[in-house]
A and B are shown apart, each in its own frame.
Chain A
Amino acid sequence: MSLRVDISKSLAGFELCADFEAPSGITVLFGPSGSGKTTLINAVAGLLTPDSGRIALGERALFDAARGINLPAHKRGVGYVFQDARLFPHLSVEANLNYGRKRAANPPGAAEFDRIVTLLGLGALLGRRPAKLSGGEAQRVALGRALLSGPKLLLADEPLAALDGARKGELLPYFERLRDAGDLPILYVTHSVSELGRLANHVVTLSRGRASGLRTPADVLADPRLVSGGVRGVGAMITAVVVAHHNDGLSELDAGGVPLFLPKVGREIGAHLRVRIAASDVILSRQKPEGLSALNILKAKIVGLREGEGPGAIVALETAAGQIQARLTQRSAKALGLAVGLETYAVVKTVSIAQEDVGG
């Protein structure tokens, strides 16, 4: 099942234009505040009517201006997790979970209810009222409620934005499991680079109402014009396998044959992880460095050089672990004589790989 979106909508200040096809897995809608992400997702949900175009889920048209089709929100079969959980305060957690279930086209059975309650760890919360839940618990209930409405598509509008760092870390694995579980397409709105790095299979970027086509996460993370903080926010995402947990508190990962060391990762040996490496944490050396305190040194070939608007430059590097970026000044780039095709060594400071950016 895939979601086809081709719409435009005039709004105060700008025009929203989007044309993309989101396959199964998580498609992240990425862009700064006010770029039209929520407007786009609301149009898919049926909470807002586009001026023209077409939205289709598989073969089923949800909206088609030319054919006069505009299914109301309650007939779209689209689950929606809002930024503010929006649980019904007058109903218990259990009644909230059942609200959409009872009205689903193919109501999820008792086994499915139990499975989702277990998956999201809601068992102990069922009898409570939403007012008695923490932010993270409320958001988990909201996710469960949306899943139990038997959706053909899941929408999530910055579902972690209202949570503190620890709670974010608590909720992210649930979205990862959904992504890896199967064929439910998920549109996930965020402006967080680390959420994008951990969750995205595909990315659609938005800037002042203009949506890009489908892009790869690595491509977006490497683009200083897209990530917040410009060249400072640029980074790469690579996949690695946990091979050992050492006594000195470090975990050893294998990324395409390259060993990586980082502070203890709470995952079992053999687990596949995504690791984000910020370009500002990577330095370059023409010769193989020796007598250096950094543990992670990767042989790298320069495949791209991009100069930012300021004094900085982004160097794209091909390594055995995948493509990463290094941020340096244009002056250093000149002094080292960097050019595309050159062999260098990339040094990644161990401590710089943040826990928040490590995920499965």
Chain B
Amino acid sequence: MSWLGVEEWQAVLLSLKVAFWATLLSLPLAVAVAYALARGRFWGHGLLNALVHLPLVLPPVVTGYLLLMFFGAQGLGGRVLEAVGMPLAFRWTGAVLAAAIMAFPLVVRAIRLSIEAVDARLEAAAATLGASPLRVVFTVTLPMAMPGVLAGAVLGFAKAMGEFGATITFVSNIPGETQTLPSAVYGFLQVPGGESAAGRLVIVAVVVAMGALLFSEWLARRMARKVAGA
């Protein structure tokens, strides 16, 4: 891809890295929350649901600002992380956190729907065969919901790739450290003559996003066939 400049190439690679880690680290929590929302009956169910969906409806800049307040140098979380040598603000790791939080509602939603689609009568059958509730989750519910889990992960990856508002507010736009693909597009558009570089990145963004959506669809269909044993 020699038609991408060094700075553009850097932004694309950083975005892939951020999206990869954001997806990987948030997935176990997303599965747990989706399971709790799909099958759990507990006090605070509605509250948890609202909280998970909050990043979807809040202005991204607000989410970024809240992250900065808490994880910034003056924030409570920030000081703790600084003390253990893992500061987030203005680091690429902070971009991972921002991307993970913004993608979380989409991932949870996809997984929750696929868990709700698992026939609860199969889970009852597993219980009569001696499987504890935790074992039922890992041997019946999750394997059967796997198409949705993977589709959610791919969707989350694409969303994390494109996250802009919360990221730029929380970790700024530092080339080589926190300048992700969308931040780079924004940056190029601020300087005269940057349109061609921005244009190339826009093409990359569209290709990655389209690719992710198609891949997720294909994966979901393939896995669904496999789970159904057809």
Contacts and interface: CB of A to CB of B under 8 A. Distances in A.
Nearest to A155: B128
Contact of B124 (A47, A79, A88, A99): A47
Nearest to B121: A86
A184 interface: no
A323 interface: no
A90 B144 contact: yes
Interface stretch (A70-78, A160-168, A310-318, A343-351): A70-78
B79 to A, nearest CB: 45
Contact of B122 (A86, A129, A149): A86
A89 interface: yes
Name the prevailing secondary structure of the B interface residues.
Answer: helix
Interface stretch (B21-29, B56-64, B87-95, B129-137): B129-137
A99 B121 contact: no
A288 interface: no
Interface stretch (B182-190, B213-221, B222-230): B222-230
A100 interface: yes
A274 B150 CA distance: 56
B77 interface: no
A284 interface: no
A225 interface: no
B128 to A, nearest CB: 4
Interface residues of B, number: 22
A80 B128 CA distance: 6
B127 A88 contact: no
A130 B143 CA distance: 15
A129 B225 CA distance: 12
Contact of B229 (A45, A47, A132): A132
A130 B122 CA distance: 13
Contacts of A99: 126, 129, 131, 139
Contacts of A129: 229-230
Given A86-B121, A86-B122, A90-B144, A74 B131 contact: yes
A144 B144 CA distance: 22
A99 B131 CA distance: 9
B224 to A, nearest CB: 10
A46 to B, nearest CB: 8
A61 interface: no
B140 interface: yes
A145 to B, nearest CB: 7
Interface residues of A, number: 29
A146 B125 CA distance: 9
A103 interface: yes
A76 B124 CA distance: 13
Contacts of B140: 88
A99 B128 CA distance: 11
Contacts of A78: 128
A73 B229 contact: no
B128 A74 contact: yes
Contact of B131 (A47, A84, A103): A103
A75 to B, nearest CB: 8
A46 B132 CA distance: 13
Given A88-B126, A99-B139, A130 B131 contact: no
B121 A100 contact: no
B121 A74 contact: no
B121 A82 contact: yes
A131 interface: yes
A99 B139 CA distance: 9
Contact of A104 (B128, B130, B133): B130
Interface in A49-86: 72-80, 82, 84, 86
A76 B130 CA distance: 8
Contact of A82 (B125, B127, B226, B227): B125
Interface of B: 121-122, 124-133, 135, 139-140, 143-144, 226-230
10 contacts: A77-B130, A80-B125, A86-B121, A86-B124, A88-B122, A89-B229, A99-B129, A103-B131, A131-B230, A146-B129
Interface of A: 45-47, 72-80, 82, 84, 86, 88-90, 99-100, 103-104, 129-132, 145-146, 149
Q: 6 smallest A-B Cβ distances: which pairs?
A: A129-B229, A100-B129, A103-B130, A73-B127, A80-B128, A86-B125
